[in-house]
Structure 1
Amino acid sequence: MGLKVIGSGLGRTGTLSTKLALEQLGFAPCHHMVEVFMNPAQVQLFIDAGNGRPDWDAIFGGYEAMVDHPGCAYWRELAAHYPDAKVLHTVRDPDKWFDSTQATIFNPDRPPPPEGTPMRVFFDQLYAWYGGDMHDRGFMTDFFRRHTERVIASVPAERLLVFDVKEGWAPLCAFLGVDVPATPYPRENSTQEFQARVASGEMPIDTDKVRANLERR
């Protein structure tokens, strides 16, 4: 089953909400960073990809869609490998995005995984992809804008949707050619929810809710 939707948007652009939305629309399961936490074998597969030895079909076998890190770093390669897939580029205000990253996924006060572990290598690769100081507002907001510009310049317009989750179901469903659900667009993993879960010693993402979403289909 190859990917039908490739998410090129960066983490903290409503990607968990979009994962749940895509699954509700039938593009399930949808790969997201939470899948790496839930399936540790994926860590080595992404390390291999970062070292130039990707096996996309092993990583995304069984998935119909992908959003968020680490997959978004490979949007070019995935768009070439799955030529029939549509590209979904989630965006938000760059400064608000930066503030969200510093309070959550790139929080400078959070210790990295232990040195020498696969998870440390995995995250070192992810951080290196940005190529600069991840805590510098100017650098990161410029990266955010340039990333969007690169995607727009590279992906044919008919294959691409630049999407802000605040727009809700209508543009996403029109792009994918599916009916608009009667339920509200998902709103998950806010900064406050992320911080509360980390503070309580839990996974930063509610994996039980992710599993339940698939089970409801």
Structure 2
Amino acid sequence: MLDVIGAGFGRTGTLSLKLALERLGFGPCHHMIEIIDDPEQIDRWARVIENGDRNWDEVYRGYRATVDWPGVAFWRELVEHYPEAKVILTVRDPKSWYESARESIYRAGSIHTDDPVGVRRRRLVRRLVWEGDFGGRFEDAEHAMAVFTEHNDAVRREVPAGRLLEFRVSQGWKPLCRFLGVPVPGEPFPRTNDRREFAERVAQRQGR
């Protein structure tokens, strides 16, 4: 049963939000990193994407929240399926988002791998994100930024205002905790997965 649905695209602070939600008691929180760290998740999401197996309670068994892809690609279905869940739209400037996504998650997909698990994961991400959300045109910056902007606008239009928090991770704990109705922790808001950290994580995974 999901209590929180993240509706923001990857590279809008979603990993920081994941860590924050887990610190606040809304964990485990699903994120693309789950697919990277757990090969069994590749098969689970392949069934969702390729076979239309949309048993969301089973897909998210054991999770209380989801942010980032793959879940954000199905945000409308999740918002409908979990009518009591609160929705968080992480946002940032479209140009800075595009530059960050291009130099991190998109570039990572071009790194050669002979690892069968890596090949399957890359196929999944390509079909879901680059061919799915961006129609195979992510390298067209104007198109990609238009998709990003329209996605955010659609979330704003379709999710009732009382159920939605538009959030920049730079805002820290207060708006997030107020929205979720929980106390503000006495520790800094988690900030992680900038481009340098992302590159180091990819290099480590590639054995370099």
TM-score (norm 2): 0.90
What is the distance in 2 between the residues matched to 1:94 and 1:9?
12
User: Aligned residue for 1:36?
Assistant: 35
In the superposition, relative to structure 1, how do residues 167 and 53 fare at CA in structure 2: closer, same or farther (>3 Å)? Answer: same
1:15-164 to structure 2, matched below 5 A, reads 15-51=14-50, 52-107=52-107, 110-111=110-111, 118-126=120-128, 127-129=130-132, 130-164=134-168
Deviations, residues 96-117 of structure 1 (Å, cap 9, x unaligned): 1101011100117723666995
Contact 2:30/2:65 (8 A) holds in 1: yes
Aligned counterparts of 2:101 and 2:178: Cα–Cα separation in 1: 30
State the AA in 1 paired with 2:38: N
The one-letter amino acid paired with 1:122 is: L
CA contact (8 A) 1:10 1:72 kept: yes
For residues 143-166 of structure 1, what are the alpha-carbon distances to aligned partners after superposition, in whole Å with 9 as ceiling and x for unaligned?
Answer: 111000000111111111111101
Q: Unmatched 5+ residue regions in structure 1?
A: 204-217
* Structure 1 residue 177, shift from structure 2 partner: 0.4
Q: Contact 2:36 / 2:121 at 8 angstroms: preserved in 1? A: no
- Deviation track 1:63-88 (CA, whole Å, cap 9, x = no partner) reads 00100111111100111111110111
Aligned to 2:5: 6
- C-alpha separation between the residues in 1 aligned to 2:170 and 2:92? 9
Question: Structure 2 unaligned runs (5+)?
Answer: none
Task: Indicate the residue corresponding to 1:167 in structure 2.
Answer: 171
- Give the TM-score of the pair, scaled to structure 1: 0.86
Which among 185, 188, 207 is matched to residue 184 of structure 1? Answer: 188
Query: Percentage identity across aligned positions?
Result: 46
Deviations 1:115-146 (A, max 9, x none): 99532431232222221411221111111110
SS in 2 for 1:107: helix
CA shift in 2, pair 1:174/1:46, >3 Å: same
Decide which structure has greater helix share. 2
Change over 3 Å in CA distance of 1:157–1:193 after alignment to 2: same
Count of residues in Structure 1 that have an aligned counterpart in Structure 2:
202
Contact between 1:87 and 1:161, CA under 8 Å: does it hold in 2?
yes
